[in-house]
């Protein structure tokens, strides 16, 4: 019989997270205050607990996963690694295609891998109230679930357009006990300013972050949790790649290429970073982040210090960015509509240790439908980006006859995204290439700082 689902035992859930910082050729660049000086850790304590900040700044290679976190991971981990035999056959490719399926988590995506430890560490540090933002709703649901596990009051600023278009994601968060508000709200200065400028503001991820950070910073009993971008978030996701490596080993395989959709970069880091460790040790493997042509942070953005939110509440981070004022077009892969890319992924891309490609929207849904017909699982629109790039590579293998081994992260299922599939199936979806002129426009608002500072 062919190997299809390659499973691990519960006892094989990783015991440690892998910190890529230990294997990077250069140390990460520090977050800066607007005056160009590195942000003091104490300043970050206004919104993050000390134990998570320690992870954020750690260079230690392995960080132990607390037992209560592993016990919750057991509800859905280890996740399956699947050989996509039927997709290979449909494509007529000599390539071997494997996917790591993160959609089996309670909220349906990889985001629970970090929401659970974030809730745990906040609880340990004595915080029982968390704010966050959510776009399409995957992060909000992941944090709501985690909050429920550790008895934390979760307050979610949900981008207004998604709040209206994705009522069932909202119900999901409410089922796990969270409070959900359509952003912009009139509860924060950031929200009120946005509404004053435009009462019909449909919201954006950057704006919702401003609201969530503002509430957390203004209350001593409240912290903020972020679902991507930051070092500790990427760290928590590395269980994906560690498990995948073990599963591939079981069938005597090693990937030539690893793909993942790239929004803030966390599931990409999760599957790719454990392979980067091998690469640092001399092994050949290509790691490819896949982003939308409508929000091409790496392929069209610049590598510069920028804010993580619209209002400039966050520290400046050195990252590939389209500018913090970037207003994303209303594409359906909500989880990929962020102006920046995580600093760690950005630095590795800048140093050419990883690669990036951009793919257009209609082709991603075509890939998702082809995948669903072959493999059964209906992928999240974000995940369809990786599938597009994998199918393109598999077709190149068909041309060249090269039997490459391809691995990708199927970061989530698309059960809450059927309205988007509807639009694709009825021919109403369009492509959007983010034009260079708009990139240049948004980049004019970049803060003028760099590290190390240029000598005066």
- Residues at the interface with ligand PLP (CB under 6 A): 109, 111, 138, 228, 261-268, 335-336, 380, 382-383, 411-412
In the complex, the smallest distance separating the C-beta of residue 333 from ligand PLP, rounded to whole angstroms, is 8
In the complex, the smallest distance separating the C-beta of residue 101 from ligand PLP, rounded to whole angstroms, is 11
Category of 210 on φ-ψ map: left (φ > 0), alpha (ψ -120 to 50) or beta: alpha
CA–CA distance, 244 with 272 (Å, rounded to integer): 10
Q: Which is nearer to ligand PLP, 301 or 412 (CB)?
A: 412
Q: Which is nearer to ligand PLP, 260 or 397 (CB)?
A: 260
CA–CA distance, 62 with 65 (Å, rounded to integer): 9
In the complex, the smallest distance separating the C-beta of residue 291 from ligand PLP, rounded to whole angstroms, is 9
In the complex, the smallest distance separating the C-beta of residue 180 from ligand PLP, rounded to whole angstroms, is 17
- CA distance to 296, 316, 322, 441, per residue, from 435 (Å): 10, 25, 11, 10
Give me the DSSP letters along 371-395.
Answer: HHHHHS--B-HHHHHHHHHHHHHHH
In the complex, the smallest distance separating the C-beta of residue 252 from ligand PLP, rounded to whole angstroms, is 29
Q: Which is nearer to ligand PLP, 378 or 397 (CB)?
A: 378
Tokens of residue 442, six digits: 């948004």
Q: Which is nearer to ligand PLP, 32 or 380 (CB)?
A: 380
Q: Which residues contact 248 (CB under 8 A, 6 or more apart)?
A: 6, 81, 98, 254, 255, 407
Q: Which is nearer to ligand PLP, 111 or 245 (CB)?
A: 111
In the complex, the smallest distance separating the C-beta of residue 261 from ligand PLP, rounded to whole angstroms, is 5
Q: Which is nearer to ligand PLP, 357 or 397 (CB)?
A: 357
């Amino acid at each position: 019989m062919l190997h299809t689902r390659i499973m691990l035992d519960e006892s094989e859930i990783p015991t440690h997270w892998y910190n890529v910082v230990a294997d990077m050729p250069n140390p990460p660049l520090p977050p800066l205050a607007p005056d160009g000086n590195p942000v003091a850790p104490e300043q970050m304590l206004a919104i993050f607990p000390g134990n998570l900040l320690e992870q954020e700044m750690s260079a230690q290679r392995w960080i132990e996963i607390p037992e209560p976190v592993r016990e919750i991971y057991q509800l859905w981990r280890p996740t399956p690694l699947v050989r996509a035999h039927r997709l290979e056959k449909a494509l007529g490719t000599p390539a071997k295609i494997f996917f790591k399926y993160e959609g089996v988590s309670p909220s349906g995506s990889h985001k629970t891998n970090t929401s659970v430890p974030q809730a745990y560490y906040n609880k340990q540090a004595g915080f029982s109230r968390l704010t966050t933002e959510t776009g399409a709703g995957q992060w909000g649901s992941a944090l709501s679930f985690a909050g429920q596990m550790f008895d934390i009051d979760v307050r979610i600023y949900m981008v207004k357009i998604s709040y209206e278009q994705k009522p069932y994601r909202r119900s999901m968060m409410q089922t796990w006990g969270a409070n959900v508000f359509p952003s912009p709200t009139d509860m924060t200065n950031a929200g009120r300013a946005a509404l004053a400028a435009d009462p019909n503001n449909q919201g954006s991820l950057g704006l919702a972050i401003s609201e969530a950070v503002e509430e957390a910073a203004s209350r001593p009993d409240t912290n903020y949790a972020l679902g991507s971008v930051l070092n500790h978030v990427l760290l928590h996701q590395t269980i994906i790649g560690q498990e995948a490596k073990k599963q591939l080993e079981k069938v005597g395989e090693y990937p030539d290429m690893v793909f993942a959709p790239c929004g803030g970069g966390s599931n990409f880091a999760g599957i790719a970073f454990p392979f980067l460790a091998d690469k640092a040790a001399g092994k050949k493997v290509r790691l490819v982040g896949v982003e939308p042509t409508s929000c091409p942070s790496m392929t069209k953005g610049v590598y510069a210090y920028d804010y993580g939110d619209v209002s400039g509440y966050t520290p400046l981070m050195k990252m590939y960015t389209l500018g913090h004022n970037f207003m994303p077009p209303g594409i359906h892969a909500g989880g990929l509509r962020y102006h920046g890319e995580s600093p760690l992924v950005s630095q590795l891309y800048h140093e050419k240790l990883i690669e990036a490609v951009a793919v257009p929207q209609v082709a991603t849904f075509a890939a998702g439908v082809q995948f669903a017909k072959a493999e059964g699982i209906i992928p999240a629109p974000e995940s369809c980006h990786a599938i597009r790039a994998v199918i393109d590579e598999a077709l190149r293998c068909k041309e060249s006859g090269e039997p490459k081994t391809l691995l990708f992260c199927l970061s989530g299922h698309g059960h809450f995204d059927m309205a988007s599939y509807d639009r694709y199936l009825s021919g109403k979806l369009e492509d959007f290439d983010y034009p260079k002129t708009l990139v240049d426009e948004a980049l004019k608002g970049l803060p003028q700082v760099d590290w190390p500072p240029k000598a005066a």
